[in-house]
Homo-oligomer: A and B are copies of this chain.
Amino acid sequence: MTKSQDKFVTLAHGNGGRYMRELIDDVFKRHLANPHLNTNVDATLIDPGDGDILFTTDGFTVKPLEFPGGTIGSLAIHGTVNDLSVAGATAKFLSLNAFIEEGMAFEQLERIVADMAQAARQCQVEIVTGDTKVVPLKEGSGIYFATSGIGIKPRDIQLGMEKIKTGDKILISGSIGDHGTAVMLAREQFGLSGDLQSDAASVHPLTQAIRDLPGLRFMRDPTRGGLATVCAEICRNTQQGTYLFEAQIPIKEQVTAVCEMLGYDPYYLACEGRVLAVVAEQDTDEALHCWHQLNEGQDAAIIGEIIADDRRVILETELGGQRLLEELEDDPLPRIC
């Protein structure tokens, strides 16, 4: 423990001096140690290896900081690993920024950083550079993270929304809305509770399993804004429509129940461990087969297709009607990721 058994982070832990060094050494460096992490240098030498170099970043503000299925620490690893994975890459090196609120308990900080370290090991990524700031009480909220990631993509994998064609199929790797619902329940602000786990996880096994299929057009992890928002982005960028079949979309009973009680729409709820893939029809069965072989892809399903005669997100309901999924506007569910 830093600063002679301090139990809480103080502003002195952010001033650049001895306490800050102890915080970094005793908490961050101890858990996150790897051959490339040297907290005495300004910039770290990396060798990404052969292939295209991809670069991405993500910020993390989830509340509560610990929730069933993860913490903000593992989420900060998975979120950035996933952005690289859906682009067809393998994540290699991460940077880490922590914005810690004065008064945060070291015990909780330790749990979060340990969870982060475990996630990094599982994903085989190294945190090679970092920075810590301590902000005064009420000018933060526990801890916020930002992670940037560098990954390598085989040069012959070329994915993108611009590759999407009419008739392509839309696949989802598992049930939607688990993360958003689990976080809401963990807040206990609605008098609800439950044992639903967040789906937060690395999607790399899922993306790696299908990324070499020639018919794979595009992948994305539906985080903030959920499935409906990814589909809206596809429509806006491709000038085509997405037609979804409600009956095919995997949603857990608990998620449906919570959404009905609170008036939320599961199609807009965040996932943190799912992949939406757009695949040419001839490779759809193979993609689904690949996913079904994985633990992470047991519930994978073909949920819709790309259409030409409408440029909106249309949901065919279980009763056979049609519902438009409009772009998300006033549905603020802050600090979900």
Contacts and interface: CB of A to CB of B under 8 A. Distances in A.
A284 to B, nearest CB: 22
Interface stretch (A192-200, A222-230, A254-262): A222-230
Nearest to A53: B46
Contacts of A53: 45-48
B16 A224 contact: yes
A132 B58 CA distance: 8
Contact of A334 (B134, B141, B225): B134
Interface of chain A: mostly helix, strand, loop or mixed? mixed
A332 interface: yes
A11 interface: yes
B15 A55 contact: no
Given A18-B329, A54-B46, A148-B129, A335 B40 contact: no
Interface of A: 10-12, 14-20, 40-48, 52-61, 83-84, 86-87, 89, 93, 95-99, 102, 128-136, 138-141, 144, 146, 148-151, 153, 160-161, 220-221, 223-226, 229, 233, 237, 268, 270, 327-335
Given A15-B334, A17-B229, A19-B329, 8 more contacts: A10-B332, A17-B225, A40-B161, A43-B55, A48-B53, A55-B150, A97-B97, A148-B148
